[in-house]
């Protein structure tokens, strides 16, 4: 079971990276239908199939590269769904065979429900023409799946902190709050990405021009009606507000995590928690560097995808820290 969960965890990370790559290459509507592509199980390649695709979807010209980006992500996500199903089946069979309540069952079942919800969000992402709320929820669902798979992996792994680390018990609330702050920052990043607002500000450390006078919070977090949300429908002021809020969120996240890490470094006695502090510190530094690089270098694809990937790794690092702190209670 542990090996299956570990493989699923790594595969989920790949799906997250592929999802970011699909979004950042503007391939979210690379296939205008779901779950196939222009009525086929794969991207139409032959001239006859492409002719059928053009006739069936005259308002959605076929871009083979974008279509493949989208379909590869779907194939990977579908495979992850079968892996999570396998985990749930093994968990149920193991529980019946062992007749013990010490082995996880509720978490695998919840993961199966979550992956089905993710599939529905993936469908709605296409059928609702990249509606930002759906896109953001789909991203958060992917990060949640990744986090819960990691939690399941930790529960399947027998280990302990030698000697314990009682001085860190009082950090449980701060660690939980830090994780909530990171989730909020990920949601803000997802909203920025879903509304194509990543380059609404191109200067550092603040936005250019008279940005303060243009802030529009009500508009930035509204959902205008549109036939399609591809490439965004909000005004520049609204997108700029989204971007500014994400920057402010980055500052808040850094301060909160910085305080947690200061406490962790000062009080950790066991190598387990020292390693956690090191990993979270390194990921935070890398994430901030990637965020700044996105602005300075105008959103390079590799940097933007890495920013998404490191955000996921930072989240599960905090999941691991919270889990280990709770185990010491």
- Catalytic annotation, residues: 70
What string of DSSP letters covers 208-223?
SSSHHHH--HHHHT--
Q: How many residues does the chain have?
A: 329
Write b or e for each residue in 19-58: b if 16 or more Cβ atoms lie within 10 A of its Cβ, otherwise e.
bbbbbbbebbbbbbbeeebbebeebbeeeebeeebeeeee
Q: Where are the alpha helices (DSSP H) in the chain?
A: 2-24, 47-56, 64-98, 106-127, 132-155, 172-194, 211-214, 217-220, 236-267, 271-296, 301-327
Q: Whose CA is closest to 76, among 134, 21, 124, 153?
A: 21
Tokens 């958060």, located at residue: 140
Task: Say if residues 229 and 126 touch (Cβ distance below 8 Å).
Answer: no
Task: Say if residues 129 and 227 touch (Cβ distance below 8 Å).
Answer: yes
- Return the number of other C-beta atoms located less than 10 Å from residue 77's C-beta: 22
105 CB-contact burial (10 Å; exposed 0-12 / middle 13-18 / buried 19+): middle
What string of DSSP letters covers 34-48?
SSSBTTBSS---SHH
Torsions phi, psi for 210 (to 5 deg): -90, 60
């Amino acid at each position: 079971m542990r090996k299956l969960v570990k493989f699923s965890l790594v595969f989920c990370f790949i799906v997250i990276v592929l999802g970011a790559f699909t979004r950042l290459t503007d391939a979210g509507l690379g296939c205008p239908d779901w779950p196939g592509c222009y009525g086929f199980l794969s991207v139409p390649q032959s001239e006859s199939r492409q002719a059928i695709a053009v006739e069936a979807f005259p308002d959605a010209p076929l871009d083979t590269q974008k279509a493949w980006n989208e379909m590869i992500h779907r194939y990977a996500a579908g495979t992850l769904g079968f892996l999570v199903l396998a985990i749930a089946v093994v968990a149920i069979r193991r529980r019946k065979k062992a007749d013990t309540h010490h082995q996880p069952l509720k978490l695998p079942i919840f993961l199966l429900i979550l992956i089905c919800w993710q599939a529905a969000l993936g469908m709605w992402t296409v059928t609702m023409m990249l509606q930002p709320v759906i896109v953001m929820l789909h991203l958060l669902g992917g990060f949640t799946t990744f986090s819960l798979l990691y939690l399941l992996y930790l529960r399947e792994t027998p280990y302990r902190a030698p000697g314990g680390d009682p001085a860190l018990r009082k950090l449980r609330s701060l660690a939980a709050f830090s994780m909530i702050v990171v989730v909020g920052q990920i949601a803000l990043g997802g909203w920025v990405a879903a509304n194509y607002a990543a380059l609404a500000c191109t200067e550092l450390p603040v936005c250019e021009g008279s940005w303060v006078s243009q802030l529009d919070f009500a508009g930035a977090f509204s959902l205008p009606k549109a036939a399609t949300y591809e490439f965004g429908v909000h005004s520049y002021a609204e997108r700029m507000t989204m971007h500014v809020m994400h920057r402010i969120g980055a500052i808040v996240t850094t301060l909160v995590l910085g305080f947690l890490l200061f406490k962790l470094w000062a009080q950790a006695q066991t190598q387990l928690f020292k390693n956690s502090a090191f990993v979270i510190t390194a990921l935070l530094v890398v994430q901030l560097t990637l965020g700044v690089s996105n602005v300075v270098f105008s959103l390079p694809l590799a940097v933007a995808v890495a920013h998404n990937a490191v955000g996921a790794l930072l989240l599960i690092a905090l999941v691991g820290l919270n889990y280990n702190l709770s185990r010491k209670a």
